[in-house]
Amino acid sequence: MIPQQSIHTLLVANRGEIALRIMRTCRKMGIRTVAVFSDADRNAPHVHFADTAVFIGSSEVAASYLNQDKLIDAARRSGANAIHPGYGFLSENAGFARRVIREGIIWVGPNPDAIEQMGSKSNAKSIAIEHEVPVIPGYKGEDQSEATLISEAQKIGFPVLLKAAAGGGGKGMRIVHKAAELQEAIQGAKREGLSSFGSDELLIEKYFPSSRHIEIQIFGDKHGNALHLLERECTIQRRYQKIFEESPSPVLKEDERQRMGEAAVRMAKALHYDNAGTVEFIYADGDFYFLEVNTRLQVEHPVTEAVTGLDLVEMQIRSAEGHVLTLSQQDISHNGYALECRIYAEDPANNFLPASGTLSEWIPFENEGVRYDSGVVSGSEISIYYDPMISKVIAHGPDRATTLRKMEMALRKTVCSGLTTNQSFLIRLLQDEHFKAGNYDTHFIDTHYPQEKLGTYSDEYNTLALLAALVNKCLKQDAERKLLQEIPFGWRNNFYQKQSVKFLHGDAEHILSYRKNQNRFEIDIQGATYMVSPFLADGNDLHLEINGVLEKFRISTEGMTYFVHHFNHPQVLLIEKNRFPDTSKTEEKGGYISPMPASVIKVLVQKGDAVKNGQSLVILSSMKMENSISASEDGTVEDIFITEGENIEAGRVLLQISANT
């Protein structure tokens, strides 16, 4: 008989939205909560929500959220008798789980043996084979030399997928389409696996060009009971990171769902699994293949909660306390349909590179059947040190079509300004006829949304944003001049002479000519004339009558940058140009610039080196993802302006290359 232990104080060894989500369930259950925080998170919402909080070090994760000594010490100092690791960081670290238990602290997660067994993808694959769970053909051997990995990849046949054996979340993964790409891909995957997980062991698997990613939520207790809580489809991804998660899957047949669920439960029982976890599968042409087991709570767990009505964190806590699982498999069924979207600080038009900065406004949209799991408020800093996810938005409805419509409304009405996000891109995906029909695979974004199209939106919506930004500028300056008893902005002794303002939207320059009479603007944009009258101007809210139609905006500004929110296009970033120098005159040919705030992982060249077009020059890491800066032409390295380990801002010149003549 497993003795029950009562949790009275729980320390969440994590940050952001997952820390808040766990603490809300703890509050509901009457459990005191303890937050931990780094320098970057001193003013984070999870710190203020917790009943107490303990500082654990500098912003770098190795000095704070990955420091086991500091986390154990924080539990001791705060009187916590339980630790929940959330996801990421130390959540799948068997050594940390064992240490927590040795210290007499309750571990809210699966047993360390299960974590350890699944921590190696090669070992996980062996267990799957032993328990008749279908697996993908591949190599998982101990010989990790480059020569062996290259040879095994060629035996499997291209394309192949390289995966960090100890990893997850897309880190240490490379798709290789031909032999010439293998060596560099192996080196990069090993390097990323070592830096992210402390191991450079790789797996090689056959890569399916057209497939879907479906995972089964499993749950077990300490008494040998295990079941599955249905599936989530997570096929829509970019850079190996999920964007949409939904349940039920639009393609899975009932018999396939049953077989996949039974296979997942076999894995759970083989591991003596005693908490929340996820068994991930590749699905192609009616067949499914085991990928891995995530021995933790998943980012997308709210989707399962929505369709089952269960609180997975409460179940985790009760299991950790030793309670018997009271549910049976027959009790679990789909209640409607649920979809989760992830709002990221990233630029879809720039290969989804992460962004950082201050979130000037964050206003979720309150509506029935819509849930936000976020760890931010207006004024929060999105740091280069952590994942760039701002919020998860979860919609739940009676069917898929209703839920998609509800999600689109939520995304359109959510105000998220101050930095570049994927919010408008998510709306485009929801409107896509292929997605609406459930017709997609893991390459959906690459196939249907090539980079050159990701930054383009309707001219109509851009025009509305330009009109709003101009009127906002004039009204604010009028108000400032009125306070100083100066002549109003825009006043001219010759009313018929128009003024002009230039705005940049992406790479496009827009010139607006206008004149103002009383409270009415006449504005010309690209040959079209608009009659605009402010209807309401209160704080950041601006309502305008434009050619007889009332349009509603919310505008926040940062210097000469305008963030314009409108229902049809919830995030337009405009820059007033007249205060900015002509960068084309100041850029030096051959200069390579960082496209994002980042840490310099490796400089691959030296001053004086000859380089070829396409050769990797510098490896940067931002928000836990590596990016390679490559040469755009043949040339010679003239100078290097960065050092390995340095943290740099976006726009920093990295090195200078003179082109061969």
The contacts of residue 27 (CB under 8 Å, 6+ apart) are: 33
* Orientation of helix 254-270 relative to helix 121-130, angle to 10°: 110
Amino acid at 282: I
Nearest of 280, 174, 171, 170 to residue 217 by alpha carbon: 280
SS3 66: coil
Distance of CA 459 to the CA centre of its chain: 28
The contacts of residue 305 (CB under 8 Å, 6+ apart) are: 311, 312
Token representation of residue 536: 């309401």
Asked if residue 87 lies in contact with residue 18, where contact means CB atoms within 8 angstroms, the answer is: yes
Distance of CA 457 to the CA centre of its chain: 22
Strands 32-38 and 9-12 come out as: parallel
Helix ranges (H only) for 245-329 are 254-270, 301-308, 312-320
Catalytic residue among 32, 99, 296, 554: 296
In angstroms, the CA 266 to CA 124 distance is: 13
Token representation of residue 15: 């940050």
What is the C-alpha radius of gyration for the chain, rounded to an integer number of angstroms? 27
Calculate the dihedral angle through the C-alpha atoms of 324, 327, 329, 330, rounding to the nearest 10 degrees.
150
In angstroms, the CA 430 to CA 444 distance is: 13
In angstroms, the CA 1 to CA 648 distance is: 56
Instruction: Answer yes or no: 520 catalytic.
Output: no
* Positions marked catalytic: 296
